[in-house]
Amino acid sequence: MEVEAEAQERPRDEDIMAHHQAVCQEGTCKSEFVGDKEPLSVLAAEYELGNPVFKAKIEQLGKTYGAIRRTRGDGNCFFRSFMFAYLEHVLEAEDEREAARVLQNVEQCRNALVSLGYAEFTFEDFLAIFVEQVENALPGKPTSMSIGTLVERCRDQYISNYGMLGFTLLRHYHHHAGVVVIMFFRFVTSSEIRRRAEFFEPFILGISSTTVDQFCKSSVEPMGEESDHVHIIALTDALGVPVRVVYLDRSICDNGKTTDVNHHDFIPGGADAEEQRCENPHVVLLYRPGHYDILYRK
């Protein structure tokens, strides 16, 4: 009976998603594409009247994490959260070694896209602007940006314009870079999945009845399509950037406790995998069913 009662207390993913959508309708999703950095207590306040087990999970989160930065729930939240958190790390840590490493991987991504038959004109602007953002995150240059500038770029009105007119404008105004970087990440993710089709096919068949090619065309490359573990594995492997995803859902931890919080580290494969196998990945995202935000350790 005690087990049954505990199961009834546990929040369902559908309940969490419904609550999140209700919050969105109240104004969260009408706000900025990237929000301000806020104390984690705002998350607790958001669910103050919610399921007690879910509230307990947020309390557990607070032992490790002290702040959250929300992103717009428009289907691009994973890529946008990844973009901001990564650039913020390079900027704050002045991590020139990391910037040089990822730019080298970006060049390999370019070669992979070309080898798979992507015409360079379809992605060269997106790639160039991502490179520019990484370079601008480093200090000592006339174009070096601040955290405030990074936030402004990710909030620009052109981010919400996904039409060809928006892309034409973005080619001429590189400071409207958010949507372009997201498009670049989508191209990179798609090319990595196609390049390693045999590896990704079982994952794709587990969540969709489509082929690898169809999955990329319908669920990866279009703006606004939500991301799952397939997208995360592909992007982290392609760029060589580890990501920790902390799950605020109904999953049970390995220790059997329903109130503890699961997390999973997506560690890139390849020659430098062991180097990347760090205890504290630079990019930490909070996942609630259907949505990603950025988490900050205490």
Q: Is 23:46 a contact under the CB 8 Å cutoff?
A: yes
Q: What residues pair up with 291 in beta bridges, in sequence order? A: 288
User: What is the CB neighbour count within 10 angstroms for residue 205?
Assistant: 13
Helix (H, G, I), strand (E, B) or coil at 225: coil
Query: Could you give the residue numbers annotated as active site?
Result: 74, 77, 263, 291
Q: Is 163:175 a contact under the CB 8 Å cutoff?
A: no
Please list the alpha-helical segments (H only) found in 156-272: 164-172, 178-195, 197-207, 212-215, 229-239
Q: In whole angstroms, what is the distance from residue 226 CA to residue 55 CA?
A: 26
Q: Is 138:96 a contact under the CB 8 Å cutoff?
A: yes
DSSP annotation of 12 reads P
DSSP annotation of 11 reads P
Task: Give DSSP secondary structure letters for 240-291.
Answer: T--EEEEE-SSPPPTTS-SSS-EEEEE---STTHHHH--SS-SEEEEEETTE
Q: In whole angstroms, what is the distance from residue 296 CA to residue 279 CA?
A: 14
Helix axes 52-61, 2-9, angle to 10 degrees: 70
Q: Is 70:28 a contact under the CB 8 Å cutoff?
A: yes
Q: What residues pair up with 280 in beta bridges, in sequence order? A: none
Q: What residues pair up with 168 in beta bridges, in sequence order? A: none
